[in-house]
């Protein structure tokens, strides 16, 4: 019987999620990558190899998330960890130019979907004394001008969500980390009102930098909880 730990990664098709999936698979985890783009997920899983599989899901959809969680258990019989890396923002992000419908869309992805996946997976994490990494943002740790109203509010709320999870589920051995990366050179930067050029991106963190930090949390002994981590580029 395969006794390798199982990790479910949302936002796993690209960027930090894909890098975290690659790192975990290399460290001996079986990995399920989820997101809304089946073709990208399949490419990511194929590049990782037999330890990974793709599971398309819109994490904003409560019913779809419940079905996806059931599929993870059908495939692997267990769930030991989550990396929640799905995120959204918009170029129109200030009070002066945002629209309320888009505000709610961003919050639904950055906050609501995280709660939805956690709620669905929590019975499994209790059984496995599992570990969770919620990929937030440095804007969820301290104010960053330009991050946006909806993005900043939703990422800040993730800190409270992680703290409540740790306070209430520690008795089951569940551990969660609020991970707050600074600027990371991914396609997500294309959503900024002013898109950074190649020189600016070269000074940023890479997805692999963030993945190494995630792996540190995943590999921590069961009695060690990393409540919050902030990782930023030096310049």
**Is 151 tagged catalytic?**
yes
Q: Residue 167: is it exposed, middle or buried by C-beta count within 10 angstroms (0-12/13-18/19+)?
A: exposed
Given the residues 7, 111, 151, 183, select the one marked as catalytic.
151
Catalytic residues: 151
């Amino acid at each position: 019987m395969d006794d390798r730990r199982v990790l479910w990664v949302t936002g796993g098709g690209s960027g930090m999620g894909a890098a975290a999936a690659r790192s975990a698979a290399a460290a001996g985890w079986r990995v399920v990558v989820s997101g809304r783009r089946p073709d990208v997920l399949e490419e990511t899983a194929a590049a990782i190899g037999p330890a990974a599989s793709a599971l398309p899901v819109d994490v904003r959809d409560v019913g779809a998330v419940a079905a996806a969680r059931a599929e993870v258990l059908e495939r692997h019989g267990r769930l030991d960890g989550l990396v929640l890396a799905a995120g959204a923002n918009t170029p129109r992000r200030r009070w002066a130019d945002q629209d309320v419908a888009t505000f709610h869309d961003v919050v639904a992805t950055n906050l609501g979907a995280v709660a939805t996946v956690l709620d669905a997976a929590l019975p499994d994490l209790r059984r496995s004394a599992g570990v969770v990494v919620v990929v937030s943002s440095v804007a969820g740790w301290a104010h960053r001008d330009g991050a946006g109203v909806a993005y900043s509010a939703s990422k800040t709320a993730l800190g409270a969500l992680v703290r409540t999870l740790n306070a209430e589920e520690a008795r089951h051995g569940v551990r969660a980390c609020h991970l707050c990366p600074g600027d990371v050179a991914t396609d997500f930067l294309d959503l900024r009102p002013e898109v950074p050029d190649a020189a600016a991106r070269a000074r940023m963190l890479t997805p692999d930098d963030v993945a190494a930090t995630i792996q540190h949390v995943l590999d921590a002994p069961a009695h060690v909880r990393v409540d919050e981590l902030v990782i930023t580029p030096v310049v």
